[in-house]
Amino acid sequence: MKNLSVILPARNEAASLRTLLPELVAILPNAEIIIVNDGSDDETLAVCAAFPVRVASHPYPKGNGAAVKSGARAANGDVLIFMDADGQHKPEDIPALLEKFAEGYDMVVGARQSGSHAGAHRAVANDLFSRFATWMIQQPVEDLTSGFRVVKANKFRKFLYLLPNGFSYPTTITMSFFRAGFSVVYLPINTPRRATGKSHISPVRDGVRFLLIIIKIGTLFSPLKLFLPISAGFFMTGVGYYLYTYFSFGRFTNMSALLFISSILTFLVGIVSEQISALHYKNIDLADHEGK
């Protein structure tokens, strides 16, 4: 196996790091371990100082995605392992992920099984997103939002500019890999609920964020698959309303015209979005070709 870099975004995770770091060092004694301190105000730095790890610090909290990007930039390894610092991802699962990765995949993702999510609402939301993503790409997506993954560093860094600073980075990187034609596989894992600390996820704020994730999935990977059904919905509604007004009042109404126009405009937006989406991956393909 090539050089490994383990990246753990951490914000006020001192309590869980006290348990996690010795386990991680024991399982991967030769790996580069990078803790990205995302503006913590607890003892995170002091805990890290007691172990053979590197620390990259943000002067203030920037978000989980920003920490992931900082870790990827700082890493020296050819293979990156991303995992949460809150203790929900178990170091003992890493050898299985690496074994699967060695089969030739570009990214291996730990897919959380039933009972592994911190709350039924999050499990349902993740299942809906994963089903939607599966339909979009016509490939099985078992866990769209899992942050536990092994990935080739050079390919991961190609998409750093696309990754958001918030918690939706797993969604973006997963869809980017599928869109670029890189190989992705899922490996079942079980994650215990965190025993210490508290989650930084807000139900209201992140409920809106999860809704936006659905839109991002569509516009990032295949915009026409998102916009075409909406356009068809406007068109069929327009036809239905036109038939109703024609047989009821014998005329074509402004509402029918508005629905038809909305259908055309939505379709055109989908076409333009499809072209813009393709431009993101044009440079990726050129970089791969030049690197060969």
Going 51 to 92 to 121 to 131, the CA torsion angle's sign is: positive
Global pTM value: 0.79
Task: Say what the pLDDT of residue 204 is.
Answer: 56
Task: Say what the pLDDT of residue 291 is.
Answer: 47
- Give 30-58 pLDDT, tens digit per residue: 999 999 999 999 999 999 999 999 999 99
- Give 245-263 pLDDT, tens digit per residue: 988 888 888 999 999 999 9
CA angle, 26 then 27 then 29, to 5°: 65
What's the rounded mean pLDDT across residues 132-146?
80
What's the CA gap between 2 and 14, in Å, rounded?
30
| Residue 200 contacts residue 159 (beta carbons within 8 Å) | no
Judge whether residue 289 has pLDDT over 60.
no
Judge whether residue 117 has pLDDT over 80.
no
- Give 182-241 pLDDT, tens digit per residue: 999 999 998 766 555 555 555 556 556 666 766 776 777 778 888 899 999 999 999 999
pLDDT above 70 as % of the chain: 83
- Give 140-194 pLDDT, tens digit per residue: 888 888 899 999 999 999 989 888 887 778 888 988 888 888 999 999 998 766 5
What's the CA gap between 200 and 67, in Å, rounded?
14
Task: Say what the pLDDT of residue 133 is.
Answer: 75
Q: Which two tokens stand for residue 240?
A: 């239905």
- Give 240-249 pLDDT, tens digit per residue: 999 999 888 8
